A and B are shown apart, each in its own frame.
Chain A
């Protein structure tokens, strides 16, 4: 069962390698460095290949790959003794107000706003709203309860909208001053 065949390699290349771009995007968001993101993605695929015989056909390969990637990433973080910031409490107070979502925003503004969302919230937002994983898949990928996923998404999306609203407001002010 553990022996790998040429056919498995072909299957793996066909099924898994297509997700390289998606994994890379998320890795880049995690690491903010192309080279390190590439390393993480490569290690993810090698690890996935080693465990591929245990992957159940018909289950979600993409979520499985993400899970491997996040496991590797968090292992690295702990190895390097970088502490993950526990942002929940810090942010909670600041987001009681929920502004209307701006109707007109550019891609640059959205990216800039996303950058300003703390990573603990940004990653779930990215996985849900960009990569379109289900809440349950995100819970499994990040190894956190579904309830935590929901509260982080809730806050993350709110912060994103706040940032955009701030931007729109300051832009409006500039226009008015002119």
Chain B
């Protein structure tokens, strides 16, 4: 085993104090201090410095007044949640069953498979994306936020990712059939979860996929109802309004989005822009066709 000299010792000493070294390196450190008084005193000094630093900084605390305000604010926010729970309970059945009953019908799966064969023939080459100005910055943020908080945390917490998790069973037990959609396999996607996520007051239907080490979220949400109410019915751009935009919140994600007249579909992933766009495009046609069917009713 390599012996440790004073220079190496000082290089790794702080990691030793943070308990971040491998066992063998810990042993080397200890052996070195046994015969080197200088390094022994350096270790004591650094340990002492940390203690003083911690002591000095931890005297800083938030004021009791702030903590009270924080608690009050939190309760205020929670009260709103509890109130909207009642509304959600009441509307859940109608909202979700209408939405998903269509999405999970076997005929739809077949139609999708048939479409995919057509897509494979290269019929679906896209015009360069045009900007869909209607998508707000906050929606991008929320989509990336949902991907980051939900999908990324979800994946971390699940050891075995072979079995699809259908956390949305309580919304619709049929959701698990989504995992059988053939286009996912064609794109090399492994389906993991389908559920409904709230994010900053917005409701996303959230599909989680992986491809290799990449994590992919497909998010569907309703378009801004305020705009619709004001009579601003946006064009049904479909995927032609697909656009790529880096999000300030998390530079590491690629995001593509497109919209139908009442819904926005976003694809967020750790893939590069080109791969992300490719998946968004390939999934776009069956999804937007399906959404249009719902919307026309």
Chain A contacts to B: CB under 8 angstroms: 1-4, 6, 9, 12-13, 17, 20-21, 24-25, 28, 38, 41-42, 45-46, 49-51, 54-56, 59, 68, 71, 74-75, 78-79, 98, 100-103, 105-108, 110-111, 114, 126, 128-130, 132, 134-135, 143, 150, 153-154, 157, 160-161, 164
Contact = CB atoms under 8 A, between A and B. Distances in A.
Contact of A130 (B38, B54, B149): B54
A25 B148 contact: no
A105 B49 contact: yes
Interface of B: 10-11, 14-15, 18, 20, 38, 41-42, 44-46, 48-50, 52-58, 60-62, 66-67, 69-71, 73-75, 77-78, 81-82, 85, 88-89, 141, 145, 148-150, 153-154, 156-157, 167, 170, 195-200, 248-250, 252
List the 8 closest A-B pairs by CB distance, nearest first.
Answer: A107-B56, A101-B45, A24-B62, A78-B248, A4-B81, A56-B157, A21-B61, A2-B198
A4 B78 contact: yes
Given A110-B49, A110-B53, A54 B62 contact: no
B39 to A, nearest CB: 10
A122 to B, nearest CB: 11
B70 A45 contact: yes
A93 to B, nearest CB: 18
B52 A79 contact: no
B248 A79 contact: yes
Contacts of A108: 56
Contacts of B18: 128-129, 132, 134-135
B48 A17 contact: no
Contacts of B75: 9
Residue from the set B38, B49, B200, B249 with the largest chain A CB neighbour count within 10 Å: B49
A153 B50 CA distance: 13
A12 B78 CA distance: 11
B42 A100 contact: yes
B150 A54 contact: yes
Contacts of B167: 1
Nearest to A136: B20
A126 B18 CA distance: 12
Nearest to A26: B57
Contacts of A157: 14
B250 A143 contact: yes
A46 B38 CA distance: 50
Contact of B62 (A41, A100, A106): A41
Contacts of B89: 3
Contacts of A114: 53, 57
A57 to B, nearest CB: 10
Nearest to B56: A107
A101 B56 contact: no
A161 B20 CA distance: 20
Contact of A143 (B38, B198, B252): B252
B70 A17 contact: yes
Contacts of A102: 45, 49
B164 to A, nearest CB: 16
Given A103-B48, A129-B14, A160-B49, 10 more contacts: A1-B195, A2-B198, A20-B67, A21-B62, A42-B69, A45-B74, A100-B45, A107-B55, A129-B50, A164-B49
